[in-house]
Amino acid sequence: MDAERIVLTPFEPVLDEPVRSRTTRRVRKVGEVRLPLAGPYCPRARLYRYPDGRLLWLVRLWEVDRAVPHLVSTEVLQGFAHRNGLPRLRAEVDALVERATASGRRP
């Protein structure tokens, strides 16, 4: 490395302010269900509540040589359950969504 190219920055004092506590809420995991896709392959679908109130499901699906995360809406999982005749999966998805919306209403 060439020493002539090193750029020195001027000294700046550190402000003596208290560190504020985190004011933004975090993404919260509500729960998860198993998706019966093919035989023993049943990946988890995890429901998360985002700080802005959105509910999204994280599904990690195997693609060629690794698991790839996908974010999907509740309607996608409900449609999957309906098209494949999986009423118990539909009930589990609906129960988690109801739990998430109920917990979101509390202060």
pLDDT tens digits for range 14-59: 666 665 655 557 899 999 999 998 888 899 999 999 988 899 999 9
Determine the pLDDT at residue 25. Answer: 75
Domain boundaries defined on the chain: 28-105
Distances (CA, A) of 89 to 1, 23, 33: 60, 36, 8
- Select from 48, 52, 4 the least CA-distant residue to 28: 48
Question: In the chain, count of helices (H) and strands (E)?
Answer: 2, 4
Provide the greatest CA pair distance for the chain: 70
Q: How confident is the model at residue 12 (pLDDT cuts 50, 70, 90)?
A: low
pLDDT tens track for 26-38: 899 999 999 998 8
Distances (CA, A) of 41 to 35, 61, 62, 82: 8, 10, 9, 19
- Select from 106, 102, 83 the least CA-distant residue to 31: 102
Q: How confident is the model at residue 107 (pLDDT cuts 50, 70, 90)?
A: very low
Tell me the pTM: 0.71
The mean predicted confidence, pLDDT, of the chain is 84
